[in-house]
Structure 1
Amino acid sequence: MATELAGAIQADLAALTNEASRLAVTPAIDAAHHAHPGVSFTQSMKDALASVDQDERTAAERMNAVDSGKSDDLVGAMLASQQANLSFSMLLQVRNKVMGAVDDLLKLPV
């Protein structure tokens, strides 16, 4: 059972890593030539926030179902909770990188 749990956690971690790579932002040298129609950083961040919020809600629902006795899927609830935790951690790392980039831009001489 421990190996199954470890395998599931590794699969979730791989999925989150792929999602982080998908959300990676490339620097825009010339926005007119590199912009993708309909894709913006703001929308990507909103989607990421919505995804993290949904993960948190799903984990809470699963934990409440286990706590109330409606479900006996403790492993599934724990995995959902771990996925929500990893999603939130990833979002915090993205936020920290963005804030660092903004600080660097503010320090640039005009």
Structure 2
Amino acid sequence: MAKGAIKIAPNPKDHGIQAPSFTEVMKEKVAAVNTDQNVSSALMKAVDSGQSDDLVGAMVASQKASLSFSTMIQIRNRLVQAFDEVMKMPV
């Protein structure tokens, strides 16, 4: 190591845990949105077929699924916009 060089050490607060990659996080979030959609659909079918009388729970699940899907679409739009901006940068 050269004189005056700074040694970079792992952060002692992370306890050796490595942060997940962006791809892993996005896969998890898309899977969560899919799960919300499936749960909402199942609850709505149960109410429609008379197997359940929990209309409020079905509506809450539907709104949650709708909100999470809208959020995912907005994140996708922002990522595409950021990618376009990077591609337009002069080299």
Question: Normalising TM by the smaller chain, what interval?
Answer: 0.7 to 0.9
Counterpart-to-counterpart distance in 2, 1:62 and 1:78: 9
- The one of 38, 41, 55 aligned to 2:22: 41
Structure 2 unaligned residues grouped into runs of 5+: 1-9, 11-16
Query: When you count helix as a share of all residues, which structure comes out higher?
Result: 1
Select the structure with the greater relative contact order (CA < 8 A; seq sep ≥ 6). 1
Matched with 2:82 is 101
Counterpart-to-counterpart distance in 2, 1:47 and 1:107: 30
Is 2:66 the partner of 1:85?
yes
Matched-pair identity in %: 50
Counterpart-to-counterpart distance in 2, 1:63 and 1:79: 10
Q: Displacement of 1:37 after TM fit?
A: 2.3
Counterpart-to-counterpart distance in 2, 1:37 and 1:106: 30
Quote the RMSD (CA, aligned, Å): 1.5
User: If the length of structure 2 is used for normalisation, what is the TM-score?
Assistant: 0.79
**Structure with the greater alpha carbon radius of gyration:** 2
Counterpart-to-counterpart distance in 2, 1:42 and 1:85: 23
Q: 3-state DSSP class of the match of 1:90? A: helix
Matched with 1:63 is 44
Structure 1 unaligned residues grouped into runs of 5+: 1-32
Counterpart-to-counterpart distance in 2, 1:39 and 1:101: 21
Equivalent pairs, count? 76
User: If the length of structure 1 is used for normalisation, what is the TM-score?
Assistant: 0.66
